[in-house]
Amino acid sequence: MAFINWSDRLETGISKVDQQHQKLVAMVNALYDAMKDGSGQEVLGKVLTGLVDYTRTHFAAEEALMSQFGYPGLAAHKVEHDKLTGQVAELQAQFQSGKAALTLKVANFLKDWLSGHILGVDQQYAPFLKGKGVR
């Protein structure tokens, strides 16, 4: 069973965003599976790095889309993105320096944040962008 189950409830109705969200969900699931399977620190480190890098790519794409269509909540949304990027970068730095292990608490944080972000602030911009013809 997946750690995060993708469902229609998580869909924004914007194809590019939904595809990226599905990839992020898959990456969090892969990180959880690696932790659960007792994979070595090297494997966990690679999965975490991939997740961090892809999250930045996804956030930039979302922000570009919102900017292109003049979404009025862009500044507040960017603050949310910057906050998570900072939290995950700090987690990654602690992991790489050996000061922190990837635990179920970390996996749950990522799961809760990703699900909460998609169901919360991402669902707020979706109607605006769809109203502009973005699909």
Q: What are the structure tokens assigned to 34, written together?
A: 């690696």
CA distance 102 to 39: 11
Half-sphere exposure of 135 (CA within 13 A, CB side): 1
Contacts of 70 (CB under 8 A, 6+ apart): none
Domains of the chain as residue ranges with CATH = 11-131 (1.20.120.50)
Each residue of 55-109: pLDDT tens digit? 999 999 999 999 999 999 999 999 999 998 888 888 888 888 888 777 888 888 8
109-131 pLDDT, tens digit each: 889 989 999 999 999 999 999 99
Whole-number Å distance between alpha carbons of 73 and 84 = 17
Q: Which pTM does this prediction carry?
A: 0.91
Query: What's the pLDDT at 99?
Result: 80
- Amino acid (1-letter code) at residue 84: L
Mention every residue, 6+ apart, whose C-beta is less than 8 A from residue 129: 14, 65, 66, 69, 71
